[in-house]
Structure 1
Amino acid sequence: MEMDAASFESLVIAELDALPDDMIDGLDNVVFVVEDRPEDGSLDLLGLYDGWALTERDRYGVGELPDRVIVYREPHLAVCEDEDELRDEIHTTLVHEIAHFYGIDDERLHELGWA
C-alpha cells in the first residue's frame, strides 16, 4: 500500500480524535509524532512510546521534555492492504502506545488483545 506522509498523518489525527475522551484526557505532557521508519530503518515496529509511564514517574514536572507517541508510516503501509485495514492498525497502535503511558506492559496488552 502507498500513501504520502500528509495523508497518513491525517489518518492518525482522525483515529486519535476517535479515541475515548477518558483515554486522552489523562495524557499529560505527551506529543504525537508521525515518522517514516524507526531509527534502525526496519519495518518491524509500528509505534513507540518514548517516555516515562505514569507508574514510573517519581519526579516529573516543570522543564521536562514531553513524552512522545511515535507512529511509523512505512511499517504500517507495509502490513496493510487497504485504507480500512490501515485505519484499524493505526487505531490499535495508538491504543497500544497510550497504554504504555499508563503503565500497561506488552504482556498485559497481549492478554487484552491490543498487541
Structure 2
Amino acid sequence: MPWLAPAASAGTAEDPGRPAVHDDVDAPATLQLDADAFEALVVDELDRLPDDMVDCLDNVVFVVEDRPEDGSLDLLGLYDGWALTERDRYGVGELPDRIILYREPHLAVCDDETALRDEIHTTLVHEIAHFYGIDDDRLHELGWA
C-alpha cells in the first residue's frame, strides 16, 4: 500500500476555495469552525487522498460528529466496522462500516486551518487503514497515529 508510506510533515499552500476558519476573539485559544465548514474540510481532504486508497472502500460511509459518545476531546476519529482481514463473509444487505471524524476534538488540538487540514488528513488515513486491517501499533510505527 504505497499510500501508507511513513507520514511526512505536510504544509499546504493557500487555497482560496477552502472554507474560512473564524477565530472568536472571546474564545480560548481553540480554533472555531461550525459543523458545515468542518464537514466541507473533511470532504475536501477525502477528495485529496490517493485513488488507490479510497477506490477499494466498499460499503463504508464517512460521518462527522461533534464529539465521541463519552463527550471527551481525546478521540479524533473512529473506525466502526469489520476490517477486511477479519471478514469471513460479506454480502448484500450488510450495514455500512462507518468512519467517524469528531469535530470538537480536532478543533481543540489545532491552532490554524493548515494544522486542522493536516490532522483531518492523518485521521482519515488512520481510520481507512483500520478498514484494511492495519492496527494501531503499525500505524504508530509509520507515523500515522
Aligned-pair distance for 1:60? 1.1
Aligned mates of 1:58, 1:41 — CA distance in 2: 34
Write the letter of the residue equivalent to 1:46. L
2:12 aligns to what? Answer: none
Aligned mates of 1:87, 1:17 — CA distance in 2: 12
3-state DSSP of counterpart to 2:79: strand
2:98 aligns to what? Answer: 68
User: Which TM-score applies when normalising by structure 2?
Assistant: 0.79
3-state DSSP of counterpart to 1:59: coil
Q: Identity, % of aligned pairs?
A: 85
Aligned mates of 1:61, 1:44 — CA distance in 2: 34
User: Which TM-score applies when normalising by structure 1?
Assistant: 0.99
2:126 aligns to what? Answer: 96
Residue by residue, what CA displacement relative to the aligned partner does 1:40-61 show, whole Å, maximum 9, x if unpaired?
0000000000000000000211
3-state DSSP of counterpart to 1:78: helix
1:7 aligns to what? Answer: 37
Residue correspondence of structure 1 range 7-46 to structure 2 within 5 A: 7-46=37-76
Aligned-pair distance for 1:4? 0.2
3-state DSSP of counterpart to 1:9: helix
Aligned-pair distance for 1:38? 0.2
Matched pairs, number: 115
Aligned-pair distance for 1:89? 0.1
Higher helix share: 1
Q: Is 2:80 the counterpart of 1:50?
A: yes
**Structure whose alpha-carbon radius of gyration is higher:** 2
3-state DSSP of counterpart to 1:69: strand
Aligned mates of 2:141, 2:116 — CA distance in 1: 22
Write the letter of the residue equivalent to 1:106. D
Aligned mates of 2:34, 2:55 — CA distance in 1: 30
Unaligned runs of 5+ in 1: none
Write the letter of the residue equivalent to 1:70. I
Write the letter of the residue equivalent to 1:77. L
